[in-house]
């Protein structure tokens, strides 16, 4: 075999000398690889947004199927034993219980000079504060401040609740740190406001649906928003336990009512999608106070983080054996839809590349025919059949590499154009990403690899034909 | 006769198959000694180019023995045969067969592309061009050369690997008479000064005039079954001629 350096040099010279042949051969490959890289990058980008931000697939929610007998609710109870059983599964990384507020509750407060009211009962989850361990800022605030031993210096401070005048304006907060504390009307003591987190989904819904229709400001960065409005104290609101905005509620007439204050401290995907989330001990205590012991020991769901989202099917099968199920997995449906669309695009790209490969074969057959005499000369001066084959295959591979690079470049340019058009012309919508593309390394490597392989495959038969040409016949060619 | 560079025994070659089978060589035998300059003459279609190709390993004989530079051409492997063409046999063709996209120097050094560990390639290429008097045109492309210059570049390429055997197929066929005469004179010098063995296929009398021996072929056979021993120009009789086949 000829030295590799000489082979590369000859391949490059042969390719450069015929731009027309290169263009004819590479055109289809460039288009095919560009579409392959573009659509896969788009699929990955969209997948990142949908499955990473909107419906994270490796985080699933386990619930007990609803069941009743003779009108009696016999739904399996999710308790600490269930949580431990799930945690013991090999495919489970972490399992944290959620407990809904199991009685009527309503929220109200002032926001941007407007009085707001919302239902809390059924729309408030309690979660273990440990779920925010990876966010130190939030974790420092998201605690059960009422727990015994909690680091809360103002907990025992007595106070007189401020008087609310005829216009509903409250007097000065008497507590030592009014940004975080309020004076409770039940026990006349200062209490830390209940820390509340909400999900990006809720924020997107607010920004996309509520803000524009109610003339309220769009919230971009919450931290910045809070600073601009004078601190977290402006994010406070009242939670009226035992009250409701729902007319006809069977529990609305209950005499047991109590008010606490809450404070929005941050936005995180760990919060329930629609509603507010508080440390679970708050909901446990409230449920015990308003709905009894069973409500205080029964979880509404268990949020499970899997080690590997590909193990979801195994975990799901095991859950069925335990009379449990996954909450409706929209993410899974989207994942399937994305997979189908991606597969379709990749198939189209492969079809283009395959046709290009046939085109390359055709062009190289023509080339071999036109270059018979040259091939004869190479054989006469010492080229073996293998050398001739490698030269032709090398030319095909070089077209593949250059065509692949051009294709990747076009895909990147197309992606940049789409992102620019989206940022410039598309209106804001929930989860609008800064880019729709995620060009992972394997996509680019795959594009270049496929390009090269398909070109080499296309060049193989012409190369074999060239190698088989008897030198004397090749030299006799006109 | 000194050591034989070429030994042919009853070499046969046909093209086509069945009823269309056409015999081209019908049992050709002869030997060429080291340092000989042989003219292979005959009418068009007589089989002389086929014979030259078989000697150079560019074509294969159907039958017979073909020994070149001590190698049984019909039995050695493809790689060994390519190595033989690369290092020990030079070819000069009527149509020059230069590659247009390469410079003169690139054409001359083309054999080095297939030689592992080739050294001083450019210097050797320039030296080959100097020998044919074209070193100043090293960076020109064949399209910028006259017919005679092209043939001299082709000869330089053939000489690049310092071959022991030079096979020339109608080397003056595309040249005017003056240029052809210069080329023939160059071959004679190669033979006399370098003791290089040359086999020149031709049907031109002026070429055969410098040959020490003329082998005539008609209808795939040596004429009258033997060769015409002429001797070197100026020699009396058949000095240096090989024996009958």
Interface test with A, best of B83, B110, B162 (most A CBs within 10 A): B110
**Residue B151 resides in a domain:** yes
Do A284 and A153 share a domain, yes or no? yes
What pLDDT score was predicted for residue B231? 43
- pLDDT value at A293 more than 80: yes
A96/A458 Cα distance (integer angstroms): 55
- pLDDT value at A289 more than 70: yes
Do A266 and A363 share a domain, yes or no? no
ipTM for the complex shown: 0.88
What pLDDT score was predicted for residue A375? 92
Please enumerate residues of A whose Cβ is less than 8 A from a Cβ of B.
2-3, 6, 9-10, 13-14, 17, 373-374, 376-387, 470-472, 475
**Residue B223 resides in a domain:** no
Q: How confident is the model at residue A419 (pLDDT cuts 50, 70, 90)?
A: very high
Partnered with residue B14 across adjacent β-strands are B23
Q: In this structure, what DSSP letter does residue A207 have?
A: I
How far does the CA of residue A313 sit from the closest CA of chain B (Å)? Answer: 58
Do A259 and A343 share a domain, yes or no? no
Q: Which two tokens stand for residue B188?
A: 């004679």
- pLDDT value at B243 more than 50: no
Helical segments of chain B, H only: 48-55, 78-87, 104-108, 121-131, 147-159, 177-194, 205-208
Do A185 and A39 share a domain, yes or no? no
What pLDDT score was predicted for residue B112? 94
Cα dihedral: A202, A207, A213, A215 (round 10): 120
Lowest mean pLDDT among A277-291, A366-380, B211-225: B211-225
Q: Which of A21-35, A47-61, A263-277, B119-133 has the highest mean pLDDT?
A: B119-133
- pLDDT value at A294 more than 90: no
Q: What percent of chain B has pLDDT over 90?
A: 53
What pLDDT score was predicted for residue B241? 34
- pLDDT value at A221 more than 80: no
Do A107 and A243 share a domain, yes or no? yes
Which candidate, A21, A25, A57, places its Cα nearest to that of A331?
A57
Do A256 and A111 share a domain, yes or no? yes
Do A381 and A448 share a domain, yes or no? yes
**Residue B176 resides in a domain:** no
Q: How confident is the model at residue A187 (pLDDT cuts 50, 70, 90)?
A: confident
Do A176 and A293 share a domain, yes or no? yes
**Residue B233 resides in a domain:** no
From chain B, the residues in CB contact with A6 under 8 A are: 112-114
Q: How confident is the model at residue A329 (pLDDT cuts 50, 70, 90)?
A: low
Which structural domain range is residue A286 located in? Answer: 103-299
Q: Which of A150-164, A222-236, B186-200 has the highest mean pLDDT?
A: B186-200
pLDDT in tens, B59-98: 999 999 999 999 999 889 999 999 999 999 999 998 889 9
**Residue B29 resides in a domain:** no
Interface test with A, best of B82, B84, B168 (most A CBs within 10 A): B82
Mean of per-residue pLDDT scores for chain B: 86
Q: How many domains does chain B have?
A: 1
**Residue B35 resides in a domain:** no
Q: In this structure, what DSSP letter does residue A189 have?
A: B
Which structural domain range is residue B97 located in? Answer: 92-162
**Residue B110 resides in a domain:** yes
What pLDDT score was predicted for residue B233? 42
Which candidate, A200, A219, A180, places its Cα nearest to that of A267?
A200
Do A18 and A166 share a domain, yes or no? no
**Residue A277 resides in a domain:** yes
What pLDDT score was predicted for residue B238? 34
pLDDT in tens, A247-257: 665 555 457 88
Treating both helix axes as pointing N-terminal to C-terminal, what angle do A330-370 and A385-425 enclose, rounded to 10 degrees? 140
B119 interface with A at CB cutoff 8 Å: no
What pLDDT score was predicted for residue B199? 94
Lowest mean pLDDT among A344-353, B30-39, B64-73, B158-167: A344-353
Helix, strand, or coil here: A448?
helix
Partnered with residue B65 across adjacent β-strands are B9
Q: How confident is the model at residue B219 (pLDDT cuts 50, 70, 90)?
A: confident
Domain final residue pick, A299, A318, A350:
A299
B78·A373 Cβ contact <8 A: no
Do A374 and A280 share a domain, yes or no? no
**Residue A404 resides in a domain:** yes
Partnered with residue A115 across adjacent β-strands are A110
Mean of per-residue pLDDT scores for chain A: 85
- pLDDT value at A87 more than 80: yes
- Segment B203-218 mean pLDDT: 83
Residues A391/A7, Cβ–Cβ less than 8 Å:
yes
Which candidate, A180, A187, A183, places its Cα nearest to that of A172?
A183
Q: How many helices (H) and strands (E) does chain A have?
A: 15, 15
Q: With b meaning 16 or more CB within 10 Å and e meaning fewer, what string describes A433-453?
A: bebbbbbeeebbebbbebbbe
Lowest mean pLDDT among A84-93, A174-183, B117-126, B227-236: B227-236
Do A147 and A293 share a domain, yes or no? yes
- Parallel, antiparallel, or unpaired for β B213-218 and A194-198? unpaired
B114·A381 Cβ contact <8 A: yes
What pLDDT score was predicted for residue B232? 42
B47 interface with A at CB cutoff 8 Å: no
Cα separation values, A12 from A182, A315, A396, B101, Å: 78, 54, 11, 12
Q: Which two tokens stand for residue A82?
A: 């269930």
Lowest mean pLDDT among A80-89, A252-261, A305-314: A252-261
Residue from the list B99, B102, B114 with its beta carbon closest to the beta carbon of A382: B114
**Residue A204 resides in a domain:** yes
What pLDDT score was predicted for residue A11? 92
Q: Which two tokens stand for residue B23?
A: 């015999």
What pLDDT score was predicted for residue B33? 92
**In terms of pLDDT, which residue wins out, A73 or A264?**
A264
- Segment A66-92 mean pLDDT: 86
Cα separation values, B73 from A376, B39, B65, B76, Å: 18, 21, 8, 6
**Residue A214 resides in a domain:** yes
Residue from the list B53, B82, B114 with its beta carbon closest to the beta carbon of A472: B53
B157·A470 Cβ contact <8 A: no
Q: Which of A150-154, A413-417, A472-476 has the highest mean pLDDT?
A: A413-417
Helix %, strand %, coil % for chain A, to 5? 50, 15, 30
Lowest mean pLDDT among A185-189, B30-34, B205-209: B205-209
Domain final residue pick, A299, A315, A348:
A299
Q: How many domains does chain A have?
A: 2
In this structure, how many other beta carbons lie within 10 angstroms of the beta carbon of residue A174? 17
**Residue B221 resides in a domain:** no
**In terms of pLDDT, which residue wins out, A248 or A416?**
A416
**In terms of pLDDT, which residue wins out, A330 or A79?**
A79
Which candidate, A258, A264, A289, places its Cα nearest to that of A277?
A264
Q: What percent of chain B has pLDDT over 70?
A: 90
Residues A242/A105, Cβ–Cβ less than 8 Å:
yes
What pLDDT score was predicted for residue B83? 93
B58·A383 Cβ contact <8 A: no
Q: How confident is the model at residue A185 (pLDDT cuts 50, 70, 90)?
A: confident
Cα dihedral: A260, A266, A270, A276 (round 10): 30
């Amino acid at each position: 075999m000829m030295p590799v350096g000489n082979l590369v040099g000859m391949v490059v010279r042969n390719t450069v000398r015929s731009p027309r042949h290169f263009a004819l051969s590479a055109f289809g490959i460039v288009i095919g690889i560009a579409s392959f890289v573009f659509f896969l990058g788009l699929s990955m980008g969209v997948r990142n947004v949908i499955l990473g931000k909107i419906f994270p697939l490796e985080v699933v929610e386990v619930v007990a199927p609803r069941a009743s007998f003779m009108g009696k609710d016999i739904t399996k109870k999710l308790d600490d034993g269930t949580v431990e059983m799930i945690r013991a599964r090999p495919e489970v990384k972490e399992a944290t219980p959620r407990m809904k507020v199991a009685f009527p509750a309503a929220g109200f407060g002032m926001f941007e000079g407007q009085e707001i009211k919302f239902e809390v009962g059924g729309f408030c989850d309690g979660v273990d504060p440990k779920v925010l361990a990876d966010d130190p800022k939030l974790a420092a605030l998201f605690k059960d401040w009422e727990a015994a031993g909690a680091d809360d210096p103002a907990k025992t401070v007595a106070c007189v609740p401020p008087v609310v005048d005829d216009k509903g304006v409250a007097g000065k907060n008497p507590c030592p740190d009014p940004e975080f504390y309020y004076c409770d009307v039940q026990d006349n003591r200062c209490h830390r406001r209940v820390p509340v987190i909400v999900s990006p989904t809720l924020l997107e819904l607010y920004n996309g649906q509520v803000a524009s229709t109610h003339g309220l400001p769009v919230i971009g960065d919450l931290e910045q928003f809070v600073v601009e409005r004078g601190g977290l104290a402006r994010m406070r609101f009242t939670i009226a336990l035992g009250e409701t905005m729902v007319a006809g509620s069977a529990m609305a007439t209950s005499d047991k009512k109590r008010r606490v204050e809450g404070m929005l401290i941050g936005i995180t995907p760990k919060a329930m999608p629609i509603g507010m989330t508080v440390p679970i001990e708050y909901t446990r205590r409230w449920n015990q106070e308003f709905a009894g012991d069973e409500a205080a020991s029964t979880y509404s769901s268990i949020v499970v983080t899997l080690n590997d989202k590909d193990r979801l099917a195994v975990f799901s099968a095991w859950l069925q054996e335990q009379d449990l199920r996954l909450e409706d997995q929209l993410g899974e449906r989207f994942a399937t839809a994305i997979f189908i669309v991606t597969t379709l695009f990749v198939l189209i790209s492969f079809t283009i590349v395959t046709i290009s490969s046939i085109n390359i074969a055709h062009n190289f057959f023509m080339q071999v025919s036109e270059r018979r005499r040259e091939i004869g000369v190479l054989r006469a001066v010492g080229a073996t059949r293998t050398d001739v084959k490698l030269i032709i295959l090398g030319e095909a591979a070089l077209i593949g590499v250059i065509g692949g690079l051009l294709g990747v470049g076009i895909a990147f340019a197309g992606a940049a154009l789409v992102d620019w058009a989206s940022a410039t012309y598309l209106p804001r919508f929930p989860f609008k990403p800064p880019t729709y593309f995620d060009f992972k390394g394997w996509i680019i490597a795959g594009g270049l690899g496929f390009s090269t392989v398909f070109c080499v495959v296309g060049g193989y038969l012409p190369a074999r034909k060239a190698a088989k040409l008897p030198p004397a016949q090749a030299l006799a060619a006109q | 006769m000194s050591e034989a560079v070429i030994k042919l025994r009853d070499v046969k070659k046909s093209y086509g198959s069945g009823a269309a089978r056409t015999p081209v060589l019908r049992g050709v035998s002869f030997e060429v000694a080291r340092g000989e300059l042989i003219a292979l003459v005959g009418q068009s279609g007589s089989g002389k180019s086929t014979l030259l190709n078989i000697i150079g390993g560019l074509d294969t004989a159907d039958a017979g023995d073909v020994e070149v530079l001590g190698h049984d051409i019909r039995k050695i492997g493809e790689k060994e045969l390519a190595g033989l063409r690369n290092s020990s046999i030079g070819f000069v063709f009527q149509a020059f067969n230069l590659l247009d996209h390469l410079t003169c120097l690139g054409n001359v050094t083309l054999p080095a592309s297939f030689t592992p560990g080739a050294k001083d390639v450019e210097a050797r290429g320039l030296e080959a061009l100097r020998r044919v008097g074209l070193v100043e045109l090293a960076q020109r492309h064949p399209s910028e050369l006259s017919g005679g210059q092209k043939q001299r570049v082709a000869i330089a390429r053939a000489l690049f690997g310092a071959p022991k055997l030079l096979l020339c197929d109608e080397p003056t066929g595309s040249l005017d008479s003056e240029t052809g005469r210069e080329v023939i004179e160059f071959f004679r010098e190669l033979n006399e000064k370098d003791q290089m063995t040359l086999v020149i296929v031709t049907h031109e009398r002026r070429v055969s005039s410098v040959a020490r021996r003329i082998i005539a072929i008609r209808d795939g056979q040596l004429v009258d079954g033997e060769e015409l021993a002429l001797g070197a120009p100026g020699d009396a009789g058949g000095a240096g001629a090989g024996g009958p086949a």
